[in-house]
Structure 1
């Protein structure tokens, strides 16, 4: 969805929210209780980076910014070429890019497997093919861009584990690919959820994800998000 289309649709969305009541916002993003991965990485020294794509990056970034052990979460583009990594171009759906979030984390504090559990449980719906909620197109696909064979092993094993357990009503469509590049999004997209908590799209689609994270993963939740702007400051 282009930014201009998203803005136009927000007026109708705001009117709908007012008419049906605030309780609807909490139902916009239903979390799924899922088991932890049976296979995970061993905690290594230093930080690690992983890339997650699960619809509009505003909400995915917001979720990971509230996870303990995450050192940074940057919205951006992955899966395409550097020359097409601009929002309006990516929004055409023809670039190969997915709206993504690059997460840098300390594996001694939070494992890659735990991040996957949060991603599949509260950050997005991994059974939706090339869309998430109101956002349509391949740029909103569910994808994992892995940094190496260990991340690939954990990701692929976990997807198989969840499908075998039938924790979702439909099969998981998340694609696992090698990382070929990550391109940070424009500044106005960074920290969007935190900076715009009353924006109708955020209220309806993304704030419930933060509440679900807090409810389902209390030991991993932190109230103060790690912000891109603060990291650069």
Structure 2
């Protein structure tokens, strides 16, 4: 991992990032749901979503390529088709697909950077929503159009929408990496600023244990 995959504009208000117009309407008893997102280094995006109320688990992994290349060494070559992703499991009674998308586009990464995040470069760091249903695809497509039309960013959103064929968990040492290594230089340079923005923009949506900025 290289350093500096931070978003510009620390104090951009939450209101600048509107919620999707057509969020997925799931009944409260629908049971645990999941969404798979790629936003650069999975250490960073995992740290963000673990703090969100309603998220039950986050697993770092790979999507977009074949099973035999779903390992860190191969994915780092940028030639496997895989992206570094996170699988988010969530309770639809507490959060929604749309809210998770809003955080993805406003806090978790910069969706205007093509095949990179900061100094992390390659197709494995691409911005991607791996949709499981046509409804997810339609909501994400409409939200990207909305962000572009509103001029939220100075450049167009380049996030790809890709069907989720399979999700492959990453090696164990990648899981919960930021929490286990808070003073690792990359985490301090890249993940910590994202957590600051999360608290600034979505402080009311955090799990109680993450509202203290010492976490």
The TM-score, its normalising length taken from structure 2, stands at 0.90
| Distance in 1, Cα, partners of 2:127 & 2:209 | 27
| Distance in 2, Cα, partners of 1:89 & 1:223 | 38
Could you list the per-position Cα deviations for residues 100-157 of structure 1 after superposition, in whole angstroms to 9, with x for gaps in the alignment?
0000111111010000000000000000000001100000000000111111111111
More helix by share: 1
The residue matched to 2:203 in structure 1 has which SS?
Answer: coil
2:23 paired with 1:40: yes
| Distance in 2, Cα, partners of 1:113 & 1:98 | 22
| Distance in 1, Cα, partners of 2:200 & 2:124 | 29
**Unpaired runs of 5+ in structure 1?**
1-5, 14-24, 226-233
Partner of 1:175: 160
> How far did residue 29 of structure 1 move?
3.4
**Unpaired runs of 5+ in structure 2?**
211-215
> How far did residue 189 of structure 1 move?
0.4
The residue matched to 2:199 in structure 1 has which SS?
Answer: helix
Pairing partner for 1:94 from 67, 71, 79: 79
Could you list the per-position Cα deviations for residues 154-206 of structure 1 after superposition, in whole angstroms to 9, with x for gaps in the alignment?
11110111111111100000001111000000000000010111011010111
Partner of 1:104: 89
Larger Rg: 1
**Runs of 4 or more above 6 Å deviation:** none
Alignment of 1:5-154 (within 5 A): 6=1, 28-30=6-8, 31=10, 32=12, 33-44=16-27, 45-154=30-139
2:164 paired with 1:186: no
2:127, 2:158 within 8 Å by CA — same for their partners in 1? Answer: yes
> How far did residue 28 of structure 1 move?
4.3
Cα 1:66–1:150 change in 2 (3 A) is: same
